[in-house]
A and B are shown apart, each in its own frame.
Chain A
């Protein structure tokens, strides 16, 4: 088997005396959907923030396509091929929907040029239109982003990540706050995207995860307690204990 797309070894993250993440080792192959689950405070968000460069890990190493990511500033991650969405919708609220995606595409084309007209970069408009079409937002292109419905804003955020054409897409609770109808659409979208890229997602909706994922990682108190396919995870005694012990109805 070829080298994994992303390999993390023994990564940990401390905040002062608090250990949010400890000794996580995992590698991710191409074109698979992996879900990261765990009770609240398990370290899922910290794990995602480390993987997307928001937080440098306190310990351990990360390799993306064989390249060591140590010391790489966050803004370089998008250029390497890692893009993400956020748990709380994170878009450019006052810009048009089209401009939200166009400016994201522009990061790979022109960042400091003041002498050209932005309108002259027409290929970016095409890319933005394609990304909006992929998430079903073509008809909303001229709307101001903040006026979109919640589910559409989540979809827009995925379009922003998608236009970077990332090999690794990190989705932090893509269906957070969505109704059943919107959730269904989002699942269909993720399935479509999974055909040609590697997806890592954090989710709470168990049914969705079991149906969608090739593999599930379970975090508890910052540690990786289980790693396997959905059937293995469902029958894992440690996972059952953590979730049933929580008694929060996820299992």
Chain B
């Protein structure tokens, strides 16, 4: 028994460690190249935005171990608040972005407060129910949100900040502007994961009972993680609104929450760059497969099932484990 335990012992992982130390610059480099790899800039922006949502979601799901089915609420709230602030109140884009992030974060705090004491499937169901509540509010408050038609009429054609002007209609420029925010968010998540707080959430993911016995206030830690995760998803939402100049009601639907979960799992939950890889793979599959069949979900869904069954660490997680094992 001791012998087999010895041989299974994981040794030091130099490559993984080296990658981890440089994960932010490497991730940003990959994002810089993205528009030149993908067939269109619009698709690249989508990968950026959904990748960012998945990164935010991963903080909660992959690192804290909480399976939320309600993250569409924060993504959507960020988008709606930004759109309404610009379209209705003529707020400058940068302030609208900050408002969207703040609103999404505040909503995450409230939903977190209501859901965090439940566990397992109950936690998932409470987050799902509360996010659907937000969906129906958006559906009913159509004078504010445009209801089923979505929110329109807040096109931002150029961005001004400190005397700089960027033509936001140029797809390449648009991509790189949005990328700056995504890069900042990636740095922020990396910051969290490297911090003492990052080791606490991992400990809670690994063993809640033990973490509590060690002296950690598990509920409070989870709530902070939930809120931080919601803030990042809300940022993705505001960028999504600026990008599309429309907020479809679907963004709040639980289908979106499910898609975020799928992207995260596909890329690799609990890995730093996995969620971006997942968003990339998911959206690329959608883009390519929908060229020859409208039923692209069948293909994407099958691939997803294969991954869950045979490669539960996802694309990026498997790749890292494989490199580490060599």
In chain A, positions 155-195 with a C-beta closer than 8 Å to chain B are 160, 164
Any chain B CB within 8 A of the CB of A198?
no
Any chain B CB within 8 A of the CB of A250?
no
Any chain B CB within 8 A of the CB of A119?
yes
What's the tally of chain B residues with a CB closer than 8 Å to chain A? 35
A79 near B215 (CB under 8 angstroms)? yes
Give the Cβ gap from B156 to chain A, nearest Cβ, in Å. Answer: 31
Residues of A within 8 A of B196 (CB): 106, 109-111, 113-114, 116, 118, 121
A114 near B195 (CB under 8 angstroms)? yes
Binding site secondary structure of chain A? loop
How many A-B contacts at CB < 8 Å in the complex? 115
Residues of B within 8 A of A92 (CB): 202-203, 206-207, 210-211
Residues of B within 8 A of A22 (CB): none
Q: Which of A108, A111, A118 contacts B217 (CB 8 A)?
A: A111
Q: How far is the CA of A215 from the CA of B203 in the complex (A)?
A: 36
Q: How far is the CA of A92 from the CA of B5 in the complex (A)?
A: 17
B206 near A78 (CB under 8 angstroms)? no
Q: Which of A102, A112, A164 contacts B215 (CB 8 A)?
A: A164
Q: How far is the CA of A74 from the CA of B273 in the complex (A)?
A: 36
Q: Which of A91, A104, A149, A164 contacts B2 (CB 8 A)?
A: A149
Q: How far is the CA of A103 from the CA of B228 in the complex (A)?
A: 21
A78 near B197 (CB under 8 angstroms)? no
B212 near A74 (CB under 8 angstroms)? yes
In chain B, positions 93-143 with a C-beta closer than 8 Å to chain A are none
Interface string of B194-210 (1 = CB under 8 A from A): 11111110110011011
B195 near A78 (CB under 8 angstroms)? no
Any chain B CB within 8 A of the CB of A143?
yes
Closest to B202 in A: A95
Binds A, one of B9-17, B147-155, B247-255: B9-17
Q: Which of B11, B207, B218 contacts A75 (CB 8 A)?
A: B218
Residues of B within 8 A of A116 (CB): 195-196
In chain A, positions 89-127 with a C-beta closer than 8 Å to chain B are 90-95, 99, 102-104, 106-119, 121
Give the Cβ gap from A154 to chain B, nearest Cβ, in Å. Answer: 14
A118 near B199 (CB under 8 angstroms)? yes
A93 near B206 (CB under 8 angstroms)? yes
Q: How far is the CA of A76 from the CA of B199 in the complex (A)?
A: 19
Any chain B CB within 8 A of the CB of A244?
no
A90 near B194 (CB under 8 angstroms)? no
Chain A interface size, as a band, is: 35 or more
Given known A-B contacts A103-B199, A114-B191, A114-B197, A78 and B214 have beta carbons under 8 A apart: yes
Q: How far is the CA of A111 from the CA of B210 in the complex (A)?
A: 15
In chain A, positions 128-157 with a C-beta closer than 8 Å to chain B are 140, 142-144, 147-150, 152
Residues of A within 8 A of B203 (CB): 92, 95, 103
Given known A-B contacts A143-B9, A144-B10, A108 and B215 have beta carbons under 8 A apart: yes
Given known A-B contacts A94-B206, A118-B195, A75 and B5 have beta carbons under 8 A apart: no
B210 near A148 (CB under 8 angstroms)? no
Give the Cβ gap from B312 to chain A, nearest Cβ, in Å. Answer: 13
Q: How far is the CA of A152 from the CA of B9 in the complex (A)?
A: 13
Q: How far is the CA of A70 from the CA of B200 in the complex (A)?
A: 27
Residues of B within 8 A of A11 (CB): none
Closest to B209 in A: A90
Interface string of B206-248 (1 = CB under 8 A from A): 1101111111111011001000100000000000000000000
Q: How far is the CA of A108 from the CA of B215 in the complex (A)?
A: 8
Give the Cβ gap from B134 to chain A, nearest Cβ, in Å. Answer: 27
Closest to B198 in A: A118
Residues of B within 8 A of A121 (CB): 196
Residues of B within 8 A of A111 (CB): 196-197, 200, 216-217, 221
Any chain B CB within 8 A of the CB of A83?
yes
Give the Cβ gap from A27 to chain B, nearest Cβ, in Å. Answer: 23
Any chain B CB within 8 A of the CB of A237?
no
In chain A, positions 69-93 with a C-beta closer than 8 Å to chain B are 73-79, 83-84, 86, 90-93
Residues of A within 8 A of B210 (CB): 86, 90-92, 160
Any chain A CB within 8 A of the CB of B309?
no
Give the Cβ gap from B183 to chain A, nearest Cβ, in Å. Answer: 18
Q: How far is the CA of A108 from the CA of B214 in the complex (A)?
A: 9
Given known A-B contacts A147-B5, A164-B215, A117 and B12 have beta carbons under 8 A apart: no
Any chain A CB within 8 A of the CB of B8?
yes
Q: Which of B9, B194, B209 contacts A147 (CB 8 A)?
A: B9
Residues of A within 8 A of B194 (CB): 117-119
B206 near A84 (CB under 8 angstroms)? no
Any chain A CB within 8 A of the CB of B192?
yes
B199 near A117 (CB under 8 angstroms)? no
Any chain B CB within 8 A of the CB of A46?
no
B214 near A107 (CB under 8 angstroms)? yes
Any chain A CB within 8 A of the CB of B291?
no
Residues of B within 8 A of A79 (CB): 215
19 A-B interface contacts by CB (under 8 A) = A78-B213, A92-B202, A92-B206, A92-B207, A92-B210, A92-B211, A93-B207, A95-B202, A103-B202, A103-B214, A104-B214, A110-B196, A111-B200, A114-B191, A115-B195, A117-B194, A144-B9, A152-B5, A164-B214
Chain B residues near A (Cβ < 8 Å): 1-2, 5, 8-12, 191-192, 194-200, 202-203, 206-207, 209-218, 220-221, 224, 228
